[in-house]
Amino acid sequence: MRVASGEWRDYAIDFRPGMAIFSIFRHTAEQPLFAIAKVPGGGSGGGYMVYNGPRKLAHGDSLEDVLRVFDRKLKLLLG
């Protein structure tokens, strides 16, 4: 949906110690619009998180749970 509309144009996958991150970009040369992180462990110490810069938008035990944040109309905060 957002790729087809041209809102999201590039992505990157990074692996850091104890974490995998999928970043979504509007343009290749910019900072990511959103980052989806997977961290190991159960309970509050693990699962999936969605970030807009340093701001955590969602946290959940499943990828499906956190991706629901994109069902809402999101506003990109700059600053």
How high is the mean pLDDT in each 10-residue block of the chain (79 residues)? 77 92 86 91 74 92 90 66
> What local confidence, expressed as pLDDT, does residue 75 receive?
63
| 61 phi, psi to nearest 5 deg | -80, -20
- Name residue, tokens 């087809």: 4
DSSP code at position 31: P
> What local confidence, expressed as pLDDT, does residue 28 receive?
72
> What local confidence, expressed as pLDDT, does residue 76 receive?
64
> What local confidence, expressed as pLDDT, does residue 49 receive?
94
Contacts of 61 (CB under 8 A, 6+ apart): 46, 47, 48
Contact between 28 and 9 (Cβ < 8 Å)? yes
Tokens for 36? 């989806």
Please give the Cα distance from 47 to 62 (Å, whole number): 6
